[in-house]
Amino acid sequence: DTSGEKVAQINALSVIQLGDYTFGRPSRITATARLGQGKVIDIEREVKLGGSIHSKGVMILSSYLANRYAKDQPISLSASLVFEQSYGFVEGDSASAAELCALLSALSDVPIKQNFSVTGSVNQYGEIQTIGGVNEKIEGFFDICDSRGLTGDQAVVIPQTNVKHLMLRADVREAVEKDKFTIYSAQTIDQLMGLLTGREAGVKDAAGHYPEGSINHLVQKRIDELNTLRKTFADDYRKGKRDFSRKNERTR
């Protein structure tokens, strides 16, 4: 999709190399989030279509969520990430920023603009890191948008540290100069989510609370709800076992 908004769906960018020829290919990433035990499932890895570097990037997402939203408590979350309609091998961590954004969208229920495409690696602290093939990735998304008709709101977001590596085709530069296509850069996940959703990510105040209605507030609220729900299930399970034991004692 290159228009509209979707919850837990994002356009990511990858590079394919065939001999001496390299080109970018946009991919759709989707995420789900539900009650669980703090694990983010890499579906590509589970079906042996994902490499170890890609899986490392997905594992970093679990660390980011726990460090940011559940430092003093367990994180009762289970999530899944997948490249939709991808039937080849997936390797590298340059989609980890996009995967994290899809996951935050799933938790906050805030939609992501589909006229954007994203590339970038992310670390445990939410900082966007340098990736390879930045020019080919931008051109790959541009080609799809151009074939459908440039609307002026289509854009790619790249790591700030990759700006110095830009050396784009003449038609892409021309479209940017005429405001028909845009290239943004971001340094943090908060900046990235702000661009993709048009909503403030939110910074903690002195009391440790995020602004009401911000993305981080909604994510924190959902994770707290999942933790409460898990505790309720655990209490009900223990109560059920006690009641069952008492019933058996009376029966005997």
Catalytic residue among 76, 108, 137, 180: 137
Please give the model's pTM, rounded to 2 decimal places. 0.87
Q: Is 137 assigned a catalytic role?
A: yes
Out of 94, 105, 185, 214, pick the active-site residue: 94
Do residues 99 and 58 touch, judged by C-beta distance below 8 A? yes
222 pLDDT exceeds 70?
yes
Confidence (pLDDT) at 86: 75
pLDDT digits (tens, 9 = 90+) for 142-166: 999 999 999 999 999 999 999 999 9
pLDDT value of residue 139: 96
User: What pLDDT score was predicted for residue 187?
Assistant: 97
| Percentage, residues of the chain above pLDDT 70 | 92
Could you confirm whether 27 is annotated as catalytic? no
Instruction: Walk across the sheet containing 77-83 and list its strands.
Output: 39-42, 77-83, 21-35, 9-18, 116-118, 155-159, 182-186
Give the mean pLDDT of the chain: 88
Question: Is residue 220's pLDDT more than 90?
Answer: yes
pLDDT tier for residue 167 given thresholds of 50, 70 and 90: very high
